[in-house]
A and B are shown apart, each in its own frame.
Chain A
Amino acid sequence: KQEVTQIPAALSVPEGENLVLNCSFTDSAIYNLQWFRQDPGKGLTSLLLIQSSQREQTSGRLNASLDKSSGRSTLYIAASQPGDSATYLCAVTIGGGKLIFGQGTELSVKP
């Protein structure tokens, strides 16, 4: 059974710091891995999607990597801003549009 784990559960950093969020999964048979952002009381917004054949994706200050063989992904956020404060969710696609989610990392960026 596929399981997804995110570490840490919560993270507080000062503005301007670079940070890394971690995601691990137990079964390498995935179609892709996605990182989402969720603001309090809101839905999920897709940030980056990495295909199983890819190693990384970049969007602005965000960079996500994927090492399928070791079952790990990282989300790197450069020069963090208070507006980055949110919960970040990692999910793997296992076919048929089905996602298995981690429990998320709650990020707080202090001014």
Chain B
Amino acid sequence: NAGVTQTPKFQVLKTGQSMTLQCAQDMNHEYMSWYRQDPGMGLRLIHYSVGAGITDQGEVPNGYNVSRSTTEDFPLRLLSAAPSQTSVYFCASSTPGQGAGETQYFGPGTRLLVL
């Protein structure tokens, strides 16, 4: 299993540009989520999904869109990039249930710089 994969690893955007951060998992996990990590702020939840076709907002959703058309993929779209969106983005997946099955698996992250 590849686990949780994210592309690209690093991206530079100009203000106003749009892009999609890709996230895929091959563990058949129902739950997927996106976080951003900023110095001094920890990780904050952007959007999450409890299954294909179901998404909802997290703590900091403004400026981002998501969709979940398949169990495996959960892309994050930046509609019009702003310098405030400079951050490291992590995708995570897990499955409901008891015990180790609820362990969250994280991707390696995407570093985004918005100029």
A43-B90, A44-B106 known; A97+B50 contact, CB < 8 A: yes
Known: A31-B102, A103-B41, A103-B42. A97 touches B33 (CB 8 A): yes
Number of interface residues of B (CB under 8 A): 31
Contact surface of A with B, Cβ cutoff 8 Å: 31-32, 34, 36, 42-46, 49, 51, 89, 91, 93, 96-104
Say how far A5's CB is from chain B's closest CB, in angstroms. 10
B50 in contact with A96 (CB, 8 Å): yes
Q: Flag if A49 contacts B103 (CB, 8 Å).
A: yes
Contact of B99 (CB < 8 Å), options: A46, A51, A100: A51
Interface residue? B76 (CB, 8 A): no
A-B contact pairs, 17 of them (CB 8 A): A32-B102, A43-B107, A49-B103, A96-B48, A97-B30, A97-B32, A97-B50, A97-B92, A97-B96, A98-B45, A98-B58, A99-B35, A99-B45, A99-B92, A101-B43, A103-B40, A104-B42
Q: List, in ascending order, chain B residues with CB within 8 A of A93's CB.
A: 102, 104
A99 interface neighbour in B43, B98, B99, B107, Cβ under 8 Å: B43
Interfacial chain A residues near B40, Cβ < 8 Å: 103
Q: Find out whether the CB atom of A96 lies under 8 angstroms from the CB atom of B31.
A: yes
User: Which A residues lie within 8 Å of B56 (CB)?
Assistant: 96
Question: Which 7 residue pairs across A and B have the least CB separation, nearest first?
Answer: A97-B31, A103-B42, A44-B106, A101-B43, A43-B108, A43-B106, A97-B94
Chain A CB within 10 A, most for which of B31, B32, B42 = B42
